Amino acid sequence: MTGTAPLHGQVALVTGASRGIGRACALALGRSGAAVAIAYAQREDAAENVARAVRDDGGAATTIGADLADPSAAALLVNRTTSELGGLDIVVNNAGVTRDGLAVRMSDEDWDAVIALDLTACFRVCRAALRPMLRKRYGRIVNVSSIAGVMGNPGQANYSAAKAGLNGLTKSLAREVAGRNITVNAVAPGFIETEMTAALSGDVLSTVIATIPAGRLGTADEVAAAVCFLAQPDAAYITGHVLRIDGGLGA
């Protein structure tokens, strides 16, 4: 990787990086010159494939398995990233889970599980990552939110609440650390081509696409491009922003 790459010499940690949007972010950051720590919960083989792809493009990568439901996982991720790759400059909080259902039928367990992983775990990773970033007086945090956290979505009270909370967390942290040259932003994807949308029936998919002004689903690479931009030094004056990547759905 040449020194002309915008993220040359930087280290990125991406959670939920074994597939989908996380995978696309890890690959894009690697192509931009960053060494990438690929965090995963269960799919070790998939995570290793992502790391191999980063290395094949000339970058450096490592994989780290961690269950983010464990309160100690955040510190483990940050410590292993810094020890194995030499530092930490960029964090992409992408790991998440859905447990959909109408609110009147939603169990406490399904509510708690989504809040725990999609919001609380993200806070813990941010808290752990900010410590070395504050000492260094530099950092980029990008939280992967959702248009559901902006607009709400029927059948996803838990997910929408977690992502709305993530947007608030993003804005609060941005105000706290802006003076140390650390930015904290979020991206809010709409309907993106992933394993989840691939499982939708043709009729359901057609109904979804009909609601999107752009007339199509987005791609994980389009989300990753926005994440990469926010992670760059040139994005230093953008912080506390929630960037919608939704084909006009929330316009």
CA 219 – CA 179 distance, rounded (Å): 34
Query: What pLDDT sits at residue 238?
Result: 98
Q: Residue 197: what pLDDT?
A: 73
Full set of structural domains in the chain with CATH: 11-192+221-238 (3.40.50.720)
- Contact between 47 and 35 under an 8 Å Cβ cutoff? The reply is no
Q: Per-residue pLDDT averaged across 15-20, rounded?
A: 96
Residue 8 to residues 83, 111, 191, 212, Cα–Cα distance (Å): 18, 41, 31, 36
CB atoms within 10 A of CB 86: 11
Distance CA 222, CA 27 (A): 12
Contacts of 152 (CB under 8 A, 6+ apart): 160
pLDDT over threshold 80, residue 196: no
Residue 186 scores a pLDDT above 70:
yes
pLDDT value of position 210: 94
pLDDT at 151: 95
- pLDDT > 60? residue 2: no
What 8-state DSSP symbol labels residue 200?
S
Q: What is the pLDDT of residue 107?
A: 97
Please give the mean pLDDT across all residues of the chain.
95
Query: pTM of the full predicted structure?
Result: 0.94
Which H or E run includes 35? strand 35-40
Percent of the chain scoring above 70 in pLDDT: 98
Q: Where are the alpha helices (DSSP H) in the chain?
A: 20-31, 44-56, 73-85, 108-115, 121-136, 148-151, 157-177, 195-198, 202-210, 220-231
Question: Given this model, what pLDDT does residue 204 score?
Answer: 82
pLDDT per residue as tens digits for the range 30-75: 999 999 999 999 899 999 999 999 999 999 999 999 999 999 999 9
Q: Where are the alpha helices (DSSP H) in 4-151?
A: 20-31, 44-56, 73-85, 108-115, 121-136, 148-151
pLDDT at 1 (0 to 100)? 52
Q: Is 184 left (phi over 0), alpha (psi -120 to 50) or beta?
A: beta
What is the per-residue pLDDT for 24? 97
The tens digit of pLDDT for each residue in 76-134 reads 999 999 999 999 999 999 999 999 999 999 999 999 999 999 999 999 999 999 999 99
Mean pLDDT across the stretch 184-198?
89
Residue 3 has pLDDT above 70, yes or no: no
Catalytic: 237?
no
